[in-house]
Structure 1
Amino acid sequence: MEWLFPVIIAILLYAIIAAVIRRNNLFSENITFFGPIMAIKTDKVGFFDRFIPFKAFFRIYGTFGVLMVVVISGLMTYLLLKTTEITLLTRPEPSDFQKPQNILLIPGVNEFIPSTFAVWTALVLTIAIHEFGHGILCRIEGIAVKSTGLLLAVIPIGAFVEPDEEDLEKTHGMPKMRMFGAGIANNLTVGIICFIALILLLGMVAPSPVPVVTGVYQDYPAWGADLPYPSIITMVNGEPVASREEVSALLSQTKPGDAISLTVVSDGSEIERELILSEWPDELETGYTSGFMGISYYDSDRVVAVLGNLVSPEGMLYLLIAPLNIVPGTEFLRVIPYDSVENTYLQVPFDGFWEVIHLLFWIGWINIMVGIFNALPMVPLDGGYILKEGLNRLLDRRGFGRYVDSIVSTVSWAVLLMILAPILLPYLFHL
């Protein structure tokens, strides 16, 4: 609860500052309010004009973004259809993954997304990266940008670019589609770059020989002695040990029924336990005749092997589901998104390594997720507007333009229902 007092102070300061600005109509040209959210904007948007000389490149880039949206939109619609079908056929029990709050990309509200510096930084950067894509392509396609700025609610929660509505209304076809697709292209490009950098850095991680206890066998010596875990073994019978091999060497001199003293460090405290060793369980089939403590070690070699296997398209998919921990065998990946004691059980090349890893992961993950979600063919998402422009271009020349709004509306509602179905249906099935 150490964070509670600073958070309360920050909220009070923000409320006071916002109230003073609002009551006295201060900085009216640059600050507006949407409820409790403060928008700080500027009409000095010459930054976006700097990209006009590279018009050819950015038009190719924007076109590539539109193609990505079309592919992702089709693929995600198919996956939503299959997920809805499977949900209707299997009638699953509600799970943590299907809790309504877990569809929201809000740190601390979504149970899989922690409220950390890395996550909030990634969230703000993602929105800025998305909006700047729209701003750059606006100028490339001759659409004026009226203003740009930040949205604040105690902390920055996003960014925005405000195009000139008249220019936007006059723009049609591929120029407008490229403008909508640029934000998604930016998100996916930045996300993939961050994941590549992340994988390269994870290739520097090495196994640690430290004897880390991560579990105990029920009804065996360590269980009976109430040995804490996770913990690090530092001494056996008063002799210092620094690796699993050294622990095994000392235990090899024992036999079932012998008593040993075990010194471990857990949560920064040194703890000593007396264990009466037992025989090895038959199911382990080791053939050992020495005494058995009944502990399981942290397998840092396996963790490093899992991290090394991320260099593949399949590895990219594993990164996308790393926070969810829904695929058996990927539980070791939690060292990537989360700050946990397990991060200390691996050898890393420099101080602050895991902070860099967490930041790269969340910037990459949130950018890719926002890019994929915005590609869905549903208004008011970018994918929905691209669908509308595409249909206008296709149907107008054939005299069917009057049906475009109805088609887009129908598709949008269908996609929304398919998003909600796997989340809500399990609760309806098991009322």
Structure 2
Amino acid sequence: MNTVVNILGVLLFAFGIAVSIALHEFGHLLTAKAFGMKVTRYFIGFGPKLFSFRKGETEYGLKAIPAGGFCEITGMTALDEVHPDDRKRAFYNQKVWKRVVVLSAGSITHFILGFIILLILAMSLGLPNNKDEPVLATIADCVQDHTVPYDAPCPAGAPSPAKSAGLQPGDRILAISGQPIATWSDMQKVTRDLSGPNEFKVLRDGKEVALTVDVPKVSRQVTDGKGGTEIKEVGAIGVIVQQSFTYGPVEAVPAAVSFTGTMFVNTWQGLMRFPERIPAVVKAIGGGERDLDTPISVVGASRLGGDAAERGLWAFFMLMLAGLNFFVGVFNLLPLLPLDGGHIAVNLYERVRDWLRKLRGKPAGAPVNYMRLLPLTYVVIFIGGAITLLTVTADIVNPIRLQ
């Protein structure tokens, strides 16, 4: 049964990727048509055509290889041959801002889709506590040392210090013994050094509440700061951090906006570190341990989606899908041909160049000759293809899996 669920998860994640690609191209289609440009073809996939139909002047269809898609707009560059009747509607004859909007529409669609996924997640399974907020999810019945199994029953008449003090799920720790607490890590660090009665100030239902917690010392396995662990006597009160937060329809919007900003920052940082992580992928193909921080392909992402489905980690499944949309959206805006960002850069260059020429009393310059940019385009395609091949190979022979 688990294998079946895993396979279904893989297929569902792959379907999510296909839908994202289709919507990316639909973003180009919708904006181009809105500006009166002529769109001749809209296809999902590449290779042999499976089927198509025509509506108006546009042919819609599906091709055999589900690895992308395209939206064909008349006159994407001044080098394209355009029928005289279509010249006014050609892409290159539109105002620059319209061209930039059409070229950006694919990435913008990814961003909108990623935000919608996060919004749904915020109202259903909850958004992860990515800011390490010191909010209590559960109050344990008792506190026991490391020699007692986690699921062992609690001794009779020995409630946890947190329970005895009146701490409740949903409480946010504000301060401990006068020390401000900003994160759960702060709370753990401070509590481990305590013993005996201490004041815990919490935020509950919008009001500050002060409670006295009698902190005992128990033996626990903790990190030693050198990558290992050791047994130490530490303070413990019996609380568990809130791992995720669920919101109502109104509160979910700003929460999803904030989380979207965080994911954008993480995506950009990941892109900046992308080149330095490629050697780790090569090492993994050779049999080395696969670093969890190494890039993965859609194959690897789909396998992780299957693992998440098998374990019932649907929040993680949705986060991966949202993250993939943000990554593709940002990556596609990089100023490199043949990416949309490369075409945007060319159009903006022409606009700035012509503006400067106008200031000097000169006519607008000729359109950029894309033929001269072909060598650079081929280099980008080659590097992109090589990286894709490496990551797909690594995801087949040494994949990242959920433990």
TM-score scaled by length of structure 1: 0.41
More strand by share: 2
TM-score scaled by length of structure 2: 0.43
